[in-house]
Chain A
Amino acid sequence: MDRRFPFKVLEHIFSFLDANEDRNSVSLVCKSWFETERRTRKRVFVGNCYAVNPLKVARRFPKMRSLTLKGKPHFADYNLVPDGWGGYAWPWIEAMAARRPLLEEIRLKRMVVTDECLEKIAASFRDFKTLVLTSCEGFSTDGIAAIASTCRKLRDLELRECNVDDLGGDWLSYFPETSTSLVSLDFSCLDSEIKLSDLERLLSRSPNLKSLKLNRSVTLDVLEGLLRRAPQLVELGTGSFSDELDPEEISKLTKALSELKQLKSLSGLWDLLPEYIPVLYSVCPRLTSLNLSYATVQMPDLVDLLSRCSKLQKLWVMDMIEDKGLKTVALCCKELRELRVFPSGADLDEEDVALTEQGLVSVSEGCKKLESVLYFCVQFTNAALVTIAKNRPNFRCFRLCVMEPFAPDYRTQQPLDEGFKAIVERCKDLRRLSVSGLLTDKAFEYIGVHAKKLRMLSIAFAGDSDLMLHHLLSGCESLKKLEIRDCPFGDTALLENAAKLETMRSLWMSSCFVSFGACKQLSQKMPRLNVEVIDEHPPKTRPDSSPVERIYIYRTVAGPRQDTPEFVWTIHKNPEVGVSRLSTR
């Protein structure tokens, strides 16, 4: 009797598995489960494009319809990764184009995407539907035009915070002349002006468009006309909100906004002028997501707006909201799940900004569903952190950025160890944490002991010694991504916990005390890790004791990568001398 489960039955069962983590577990059970799973996986996620070979991925998943890739490490967002480091999309596009022509969706984050890549996508995938590029670079609006003109079934075209070579707004006219199948269009990161008539006509022939995010150059006076052509919008990102309108224009705009009966998400709002806040009143009660992080609006006006947003689940705002404004949020926005407060660039030398730890305490008290926070603040106290932790044990993501490096609890002058201890002790589901302020090794001992579900941790200007890293690597069982800058330790903890690194996606350390010798040792000891040393100008000789500027370590089954630039050293390049190129004297 054949004891194996029939393939068809397994296949049917696996079709109910969505989460890739579940699919990954399932594929490890036995060969037949591996085979069945791989033949049924439609959405493929690769967290580090260098961890695995594109051809192998293409071959493994014949039914692949959606591919998500991430390239550069997260700290690249803050200019800590030099240009030219890598993260090229081309090998992946090429591999998929050759083997998986039925691919419909490509989502890339922090990768280098060229016009050639975009043209290849347009030419190779006949059912292509979704292109989402986040924090990508290397392409121009010509590449976008290629996608627009060739992908007849295009539904989503989203450019989120990309660095685009903007050659002008022509690309918008390249969409098919008859109707389009567009559902979402985001060109908010582009600089240049687009032709209004192109946009208006596009909207008129895109009946399925639900999400539209304009760029800053789209002026306020044309917004009303655009909205009239797309009253079915669910997400709207406006352009600039500061141009002068006469009373009639204001009234027309107000009406057009009130007609957006399905609108749930509002963003853009660049330079929002206080006199235009009433224009937004009609959409507030329905909003679940509001991004005011580019709106230079003062607290009283923010309060005016936010007190009407009772359904708000996601709020991004600048620190001009002040403690008072956050108190209003705590009172009025009972559905809030995610809060981000960004710095407005207020000069630190001026009088204290009226956003303190109190703001976050209020929100943690009033908003019972709050689970994700990013908070920039000048200074903090342990007491506040303890209160916040008590109020909200349901945090999944807690990122606190005390902007003064090494700032202690400003009331007690103590390190913020106890405060963060409270956070990790109480928030048992914490997946992501960023710490800041004055922290000793003790803080990291607490994190190692308590933060068992923590997957991603970001640290800057903290700790005293190697113990800090040791606590983290030996304690945090679920740790997948660790990024550290300007901390005083290195070799010992790294080498002692080398095995841990194979269980993680990646480790980034910059401006720490890691020696070149340790990097070599680690490389030799752990062949399934890629250890990259990234230095400004690789020195002519590199003694073992010399410190390295940056080290990026990640697990991989693809072996050493072939596309490293000069300033990246790996042991495969030149193990003896330790520089990527021998200098001639």
Chain B
Amino acid sequence: MRGGSELELGKSNLPAAESELELGLGLSLGNGAWRERGRILTAKDFPSVGSKRAADSSSHHGASPPRSSQVVGWPPVGSHRMNSLVNKQAMKAEKREGKEEGKKKVMKEEDEPKDVPMKVVQGSGFVKVNKDGVGIGRKVDMRAHSSYENLAQTLEEMFFGMTGKVKPLRLLDGSSEFVLTYEDKEGDWMLVGDVPWRMFITSVKRLRIMGTSEANGLATRHQEQK
């Protein structure tokens, strides 16, 4: 799945009907040809962050997320130095290759010394969250959450401050004046909470905290789609 990010200006939170736009990051050293496109990278794209290295082992769909050394211009080391590093890694790889018996090539990120390619990223990561009536949006890391309750708690802290209230599901159970909705990869706005969490995080593109009254129309539309 290729994620994209759409931009909202100020309070106009409803999505415009244009197609997704990809943010190209691909560049290569030396010849200036623009290679692969990517999108804004988020914490999700670096599964080996801190103690979450285990997440890497459970990666599935084909191309794995980029390591931090696969991102263009990162780490910020000048290209002369980078070339030197790359050659060393290639040499290390060759040495390791030499030690292994089989002819299996050890795939290092940088195959061509002069190129630092950016791999396409799967899955979701940080998504933008807007609350009605608040101009400045926030971002929340979907990968850092394990459940709807978890997410709701984070959002409540972000947008409603630490209320200290015991009921964490205010956003999800329809009991407050606000309700949590999301835009999925098809561009439809849905109520949060209807699909299993794992499915949700792969399809969510944006979140919006809207007034319950406005959301009523949404719920209906959602039901109609069923």
Residues of chain A whose beta carbon lies under 8 Å from any beta carbon of chain B: 75, 77-80, 82-84, 135, 161, 163, 189, 293-294, 296, 342-345, 347-349, 376, 379, 401, 403-408, 410, 413, 434, 438, 458, 460-461, 464-467, 485-486, 488-492, 511-513, 515, 517-518, 535-537, 539, 543-547, 549
Asked whether A545 lies within 8 Å of B116 as measured between CB atoms, the reply is no
Given A413-B50, A492-B10; A79-B89 close (CB under 8 Å): no
Asked whether B40 lies within 8 Å of A488 as measured between CB atoms, the reply is yes
Asked whether A401 lies within 8 Å of B68 as measured between CB atoms, the reply is no
Asked whether B26 lies within 8 Å of A547 as measured between CB atoms, the reply is no
Asked whether A344 lies within 8 Å of B32 as measured between CB atoms, the reply is no
Q: Which residues of A contact B5 (CB under 8 A)?
A: 513, 547
Closest A-B pairs by Cβ, 8 of them: A83-B32, A78-B73, A536-B24, A406-B43, A345-B85, A488-B139, A515-B7, A161-B80
Tell whether B195 is near chain A: CB-to-CB under 8 Å.
no
Tell whether B104 is near chain A: CB-to-CB under 8 Å.
no
Q: Which residues of B contact A296 (CB under 8 A)?
A: 88
Residue from the list B40, B69, B76, B88 in contact with A78, Cβ < 8 A: B76
Asked whether A405 lies within 8 Å of B9 as measured between CB atoms, the reply is no
Asked whether A547 lies within 8 Å of B116 as measured between CB atoms, the reply is no
Residue from the list B23, B50, B75 in contact with A547, Cβ < 8 A: B23
> Smallest Cβ distance from B154 to chain A, in angstroms?
12
Asked whether B76 lies within 8 Å of A486 as measured between CB atoms, the reply is no
Asked whether B29 lies within 8 Å of A79 as measured between CB atoms, the reply is yes
Chain B interface residue number, banded = 35 or more
Q: Which residues of A contact B69 (CB under 8 A)?
A: 345, 348
Q: Which residues of A contact B73 (CB under 8 A)?
A: 75, 78-80, 485
Given A342-B77, A343-B85; A539-B21 close (CB under 8 Å): yes
Tell whether B197 is near chain A: CB-to-CB under 8 Å.
no
A545→B14 CA distance, assembly (Å): 12
Asked whether B74 lies within 8 Å of A77 as measured between CB atoms, the reply is no
What residue in chain B is nearest A413 (Cβ atoms)? B50
Q: Which residues of A contact B37 (CB under 8 A)?
A: 536
A163→B68 CA distance, assembly (Å): 26
Asked whether A405 lies within 8 Å of B136 as measured between CB atoms, the reply is no
Given A342-B81, A518-B9, A547-B5; A407-B75 close (CB under 8 Å): no
Asked whether A82 lies within 8 Å of B32 as measured between CB atoms, the reply is yes
Asked whether B50 lies within 8 Å of A410 as measured between CB atoms, the reply is yes
24 pairs from A and B in contact (CB 8 Å cutoff) = A78-B73, A78-B74, A78-B78, A79-B72, A293-B81, A343-B75, A344-B88, A347-B89, A401-B75, A403-B68, A406-B49, A407-B49, A408-B50, A434-B76, A464-B138, A465-B138, A485-B73, A486-B40, A489-B136, A545-B7, A545-B9, A545-B16, A547-B21, A547-B23
Residue from the list B31, B34, B75, B80 in contact with A189, Cβ < 8 A: B80
> Smallest Cβ distance from B151 to chain A, in angstroms?
15
What residue in chain A is nearest B76 (Cβ atoms)? A78
> Smallest Cβ distance from B35 to chain A, in angstroms?
9
Q: Mark B58-90, 1 if CB is under 8 A from A, else 0.
A: 000000000111011111111111001110110
Tell whether B128 is near chain A: CB-to-CB under 8 Å.
yes
> Smallest Cβ distance from B126 to chain A, in angstroms?
7
What residue in chain A is nearest B46 (Cβ atoms)? A405
A355→B73 CA distance, assembly (Å): 22
Tell whether B48 is near chain A: CB-to-CB under 8 Å.
yes
Tell whether B120 is near chain A: CB-to-CB under 8 Å.
no
What residue in chain B is nearest A466 (Cβ atoms)? B136
Tell whether B213 is near chain A: CB-to-CB under 8 Å.
no
Asked whether A343 lies within 8 Å of B7 as measured between CB atoms, the reply is no
Q: Which residues of A contact B46 (CB under 8 A)?
A: 404-406
Tell whether B18 is near chain A: CB-to-CB under 8 Å.
yes
Question: B residues 143-195 with Cβ under 8 Å of A?
Answer: none
> Smallest Cβ distance from B4 to chain A, in angstroms?
9
A343→B92 CA distance, assembly (Å): 15
Asked whether A545 lies within 8 Å of B6 as measured between CB atoms, the reply is yes
> Smallest Cβ distance from B209 to chain A, in angstroms?
14
Residue from the list B25, B41, B136 in contact with A465, Cβ < 8 A: B136
Tell whether B135 is near chain A: CB-to-CB under 8 Å.
yes
Tell whether B51 is near chain A: CB-to-CB under 8 Å.
yes
Asked whether A465 lies within 8 Å of B137 as measured between CB atoms, the reply is yes
Q: Which residues of A contact B77 (CB under 8 A)?
A: 78, 342-343, 376
Asked whether A84 lies within 8 Å of B23 as measured between CB atoms, the reply is no
Asked whether B75 lies within 8 Å of A84 as measured between CB atoms, the reply is no
Tell whether B97 is near chain A: CB-to-CB under 8 Å.
no
A127→B8 CA distance, assembly (Å): 58
Q: Which residues of A contact B85 (CB under 8 A)?
A: 343-345
